Amino acid sequence: MAGRSNAVINDRDAHIRSQIEEHAPGKDSYTLVAKAVNVGVALLVYARDAGIARRVCDVQTQWTGTGPAYMGNKGAVGIRFRVPDRGCKAGEVFTYVSSL
């Protein structure tokens, strides 16, 4: 089953992005910033192209499983990235977590 998960996530990514763009005010386009997947737990983060998508940097993903042998039927995934301010290196750090 592990070999199929990439195709499923790519299919879901295309579907989610099409729905976001179809229903977005102004019909803006969006970019997948990052995805983190651990068996049945997935997290996909999108950003508007005309917004912060082109400024995102330092993208990090992480996952963990729980239970016997950390099999992944329960656990968490996380995504962290930085968006630098214009004229300032620090900017803001965004962290997203999905857990089951």
First to last CA, the chain: 20
- For the segment 25-73, what is each residue's pLDDT rounded down to a tens digit? 888 999 999 999 887 788 999 999 998 999 999 999 999 888 777 665 6
What range defines the domain where residue 74 resides?
A: 2-99
What is the rounded distance in angstroms from the CA atom of residue 43 to the CA atom of residue 89? Answer: 27
Of 78, 39, 85, 86, the closest CA to residue 59 belongs to: 78
pLDDT-derived band at 4 (thresholds 50, 70, 90) equals: low
Specify the 3-state DSSP secondary structure of 69. helix
Length of the chain equals 100
Confidence of residue 1 (pLDDT cuts 50, 70, 90): very low
Q: How many domains does the chain have?
A: 1
Longest dimension (CA), the chain: 48
